Structure 1
Amino acid sequence: MCTGKCSRCIAITLYPLVLLSIVCNIILFFPGWNVKYVREQHITPEVAYLGGLIGGGFLVLIPALYIHLTGEGRCCGNRFGMFLSIIVAAVGELGAAYSFIVAILGLTNGPLCKDDEDKWTRPFLKSNSTYLMHSASWDACTEPKRVVQFNMGLFFTLIAASSLQGTLCAIQIINGLVGCLCGMCSKKEEILQET
């Protein structure tokens, strides 16, 4: 496969993953689909770290845009452009890693919720993630309703999205290296098609 076409495929695949990461991070601010918890600052620090918004969002979006332009041949579509795509893909790799780590921490530490004594606490903070397998323990959170499932679903989605983003950025690093060393074949293909 041509390095330019590979770059375009990677970029086009990164766009929905970026959108998914941003949306998941924004939704995490509204447990129980209610804005009052944000206003009262009853959200976990892992949500406030903005792993999906900054890491899996903007730090991956910038490389996706550059990689797409490189694949189109409009942004230094040559060996130097492919070399720069290695650098921006590495930035995307860092963003994906940040999103992944924050999501893992969010899952491990559990949600902030009101307990039976009407106190805001993190009941699963020292459980070493064992609470994930024991749904009976989720009743320790009385408010927001179903907050454990809410956080689990969104953090698992962020883990999956950031894993895919990291894999795609790693592929682009290899693709960029091949394009840098061997050159892009998109111009050669255009010449062959014209004749």
Structure 2
Amino acid sequence: MYCSVGLARSLGLALLPLALCCIVANLLLLFPMGESAYIQQNRLANYILYFGGLGGGGLLMLIPAVAFSTLGKCGCCWNESLMMCGSVLAAVVGLVGSGYCFVISGLALIEGPQCFTILGWGYPFAGDQGRYLLQPERWSNCTQPVHIVEWNVTLLCVLLGLAVLEFIICLIQLGSGLVNAICRPCCYKQEYSLNA
């Protein structure tokens, strides 16, 4: 049990900086090149306003991060199986949050940014299923906000990577918590029958 609690605490501590980085990356997406004018004029890509990094990979991820890192420290009289069941539920919340962050970031990356071109404001890359990512010579078609394609691609790729790491961490804790929640009672029954 102590090994699994130690693992959970380590995973929780690893989730905290990842969640904070997701929040920061999503906030940066809201202010291209540090300017607030585009959010006020509703000139941001649709999927950025779904707050995949802020909500899913960030705030929602704080639930498993805190639950894992404080596992066994609350001074409660919970038995070990119940404690592990709680960590399993927190891991499921984390899987949902990281999955949401990954999907929204991926969709935003495929759609491309809303920007100003010679045709006016629009989504010049929306119809090409993300092929623009491999054609950086087309990125200069977006004249406003300046370097918006590079800005979005970089931050959305960061969010995708962070979401994958968060998903893996929560999956590890889900597996560990399930094994401990299911197997611990069996071990106790065997120990009890041997002692009797």
* Superposed pair shares fold, TM > 0.5: yes
1:111 aligned onto 2:110: no
Q: Specify the alignment match of 1:91 in structure 2.
A: 93
The separation in 2 between residues aligned to 1:157 and 1:74, in whole angstroms, is 38
Counterparts of 1:170 and 1:63, CA distance in 2: 11
Moved over 3 A (4+): 71-77
Note the alpha carbon deviations across 1:113-167, whole angstroms, 9 max, x for none. Answer: 00024x1110000111110011111011000010000000000000000000000
Q: Matches of 1:142 and 1:151 in 2, distance apart?
A: 14
Q: 1:58 to 1:31 in 2, by over 3 A?
A: same
1:114·1:142 contact (CA, 8 Å) conserved in 2?
Answer: yes
Equivalent residue runs for 1:56-135 within 5 Å: 56-70=57-71, 72=73, 74=75, 76=78, 78-117=80-119, 119-135=120-136
Structure 1 window deviating more from structure 2 (53-62 vs 153-162): it is: 53-62
Contact 1:7 1:71 in 2 (8 A): no
State the one-letter code of the partner of 2:157: F
Identity %: 34
Conserved 8 A contact 2:72-2:83: no
Relative distance call for 1:93 and 1:130 in structure 2 (3 A) is: same
Whole-Å Cα distance in 1 between the matches of residues 81 and 102 of structure 2?
31
Please say if residues 114 and 122 of structure 2, whose CA atoms lie closer than 8 Å, have aligned partners that are also in contact: yes
Q: Where does the alignment leave 5 or more consecutive residues of structure 2 unmatched?
A: 185-196
**What RMSD in Å do the two structures reach over aligned CA positions?**
1.7
Q: Which runs of 5+ in 1 are unaligned?
A: 184-195
TM-score w.r.t. structure 1 length?
A: 0.89
Q: Which residue of 2 aligns with 1:173?
A: 174
Provide the aligned length of Structure 1 versus Structure 2. Answer: 183
Alignment of 1:144-159 (within 5 A): 144-159=145-160
